[in-house]
């Protein structure tokens, strides 16, 4: 996971060119999952810290320990920090690395979904329950049965069914589950166990949630992402294939599956007709930001659509110290999303 070259960047100038300001500056925050609850925007991000762990290709430097929840009365109002909503010390099964979370509401209760490494070093996905959108959340004693990898995103469909999308390659360990069981080989290469470039890329997973949102209601299935010929994207198609950061939203009756391409730093999307897919690749939503990771959510508020994302410009390019931003997205008459360039007159490509 080489860091993007940042030596040439004048960060004061870059921040002036950014299409959106940092909305949270007293903490480092990343991977923002945004939802509207009770007419307010709630943001569930990762809380980035510098725990001193060395940078490596498996993301050991992303050593987050807790989650804060943030809310906004309006899209341009100040952001309220509601404080610690869940800490790893209170999660019996989790040892470390509280990575990108999501949340959702059902019947007046709020559910925080989060990945973390268990005491065997395996990423699992847990659930914590609260009475309010801002938490605090009480975690279940065990992770979701049959869960693995990272970056849960829980989408509520119009018929009241909830689906969890998840998965991430490299540090997210998806490639270690190719046979349905965890491959404990101690290789530290991020590309060990991945398909060859001319083979189909690894796919994210989706599972319908149980009525109480605490378990999967079915065995997770792969989410197919197809090219213009209806073929699965290939592992060597690094600018389009899935890496991590799954998100689903619905626009004009179609399901939009968006995700990060990781090592090529794009946020891309594909469109399908039902929550399970298949999804046909359509294009890029966000070009690369400063920092290695790119991770987002998409949320409608007062009739406009917004991309919640992050970059590392507040920390002057430190990969694991990121900050959340918001930008409006636009659809054309065919429902295609216009690609956002994160900085005016400046590209890190």
Residue 62 lies near ligand FUB (rule: CB under 6 A): yes
- The least CB distance from residue 55 to ligand FUB, in Å, is 13
Nearer to ligand FUB, 125 or 213 (CB): 125
Say how far apart CA 242 and CA 202 lie, in whole Å.
Answer: 7
128 binds ligand FUB (CB under 6 A): no
Site track for ligand FUB across 252-291, x = CB under 6 A: ----------------------------------------
Q: What is the DSSP letter of 159?
A: T
In DSSP terms, 26 is beta-bridged to none
CB of 167 to ligand FUB, least distance (A): 10
Show the tokens assigned to 271.
């469109």
Answer yes or no whether residue 102 interacts with ligand FUB by CB under 6 A. no
- Is 341 one of the catalytic residues? no
Q: Looking at residue 342, what DSSP letter applies?
A: S
Work out which of 22, 28, 29, 31 binds ligand FUB, going by CB under 6 A: 31
Burial of 53 (0-12, 13-18, 19+ CB in 10 A): middle
**150 near ligand FUB, rule: CB under 6 A:** yes
141 is catalytic: no
Q: Which of 48, 244, 263, 341 is catalytic?
A: 244
Residue 245 as a binder of ligand FUB (CB under 6 A): the answer is yes
Query: Between residues 31 and 311, which has the closer beta carbon with respect to ligand FUB?
Result: 31
Among the listed residues 34, 72, 85, 100, the single contact to ligand FUB using CB under 6 A: 100
Kindly state the smallest distance separating residue 195's Cβ from ligand FUB, in Å. 20
**What is the distance between the alpha carbons of residues 100 and 204, in angstroms, rounded to a whole number?**
15
Rounded to an integer, what distance in angstroms lies between the CA atom of residue 165 and that of residue 156?
11
Q: In angstroms, rounded to a whole number, what is the distance separating the alpha carbons of residues 251 and 257?
A: 11
* Cβ at position 57, least distance to ligand FUB in Å: 13
Residue 239: in which H helix or E strand, if any?
A: none
Q: How far is CA 180 from CA 174, 219, 267, in A?
A: 10, 11, 27
Element housing 13 (H / E): helix 11-17
- Whole-number minimum distance, CB 114 to ligand FUB, in Å? 10
Say whether the peptide bond before residue 80 is cis (omega within 30 degrees of 0). Answer: no
* Residue from 29, 261, 293, 315 in contact with ligand FUB (CB under 6 A): 293
Taking Cα atoms as reference points, which of 228, 301, 315 lies closest to residue 22?
A: 315
Residues in the site for ligand FUB, rule: CB under 6 A?
30-31, 46, 62, 99-100, 150-151, 168, 244-245, 293, 295
Active site residues: 31, 244
């Amino acid at each position: 996971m080489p860091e993007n070259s940042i030596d040439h960047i004048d960060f004061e100038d870059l921040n002036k060119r950014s299409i959106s300001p940092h909305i949270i500056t007293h903490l480092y925050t990343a991977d923002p999952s945004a939802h509207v609850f009770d007419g307010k925007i709630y943001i569930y991000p990762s809380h980035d810290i510098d725990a001193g762990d060395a940078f490596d290709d498996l993301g050991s430097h992303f050593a987050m320990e807790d989650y804060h929840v943030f809310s906004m009365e309006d899209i341009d109002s100040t952001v309220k920090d509601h404080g610690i909503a869940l800490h790893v010390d209170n999660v019996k099964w989790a040892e470390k690395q509280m990575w990108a979370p999501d949340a959702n509401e059902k019947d007046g209760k709020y559910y925080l979904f989060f990945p973390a490494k268990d005491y065997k070093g395996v990423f699992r996905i847990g659930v914590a329950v609260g009475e309010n959108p801002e938490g605090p959340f009480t975690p279940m004693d065990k992770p979701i049965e049959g869960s693995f990898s990272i970056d849960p995103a829980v989408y509520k469909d119009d018929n009241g069914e909830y689906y969890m999308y998840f998965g991430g390659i490299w540090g997210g360990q998806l490639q270690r589950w190719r046979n349905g069981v965890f491959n404990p080989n101690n290789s530290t290469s991020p590309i060990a166990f991945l398909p060859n470039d001319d083979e189909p890329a690894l796919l994210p997973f989706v599972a319908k949630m149980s009525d109480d949102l605490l378990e999967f209601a079915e065995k997770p299935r792969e989410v197919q992402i197809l090219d213009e010929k209806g073929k699965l994207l290939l592992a060597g198609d690094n600018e389009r294939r899935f890496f991590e950061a799954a998100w689903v939203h619905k626009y004009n009756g179609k399901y939009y599956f968006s995700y990060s391409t990781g090592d090529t730093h794009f946020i891309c999307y594909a469109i399908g007709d039902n929550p399970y897919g298949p999804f046909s690749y359509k294009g890029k939503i966000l070009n690369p930001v400063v920092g290695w990771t790119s991770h987002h959510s998409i949320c409608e508020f007062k009739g406009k659509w917004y991309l919640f994302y992050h970059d590392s410009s507040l920390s002057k390019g430190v990969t694991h110290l990121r900050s959340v931003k918001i930008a409006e997205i636009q659809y054309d008459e065919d429902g295609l999303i216009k690609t956002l360039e994160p900085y005016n007159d400046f590209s890190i490509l």
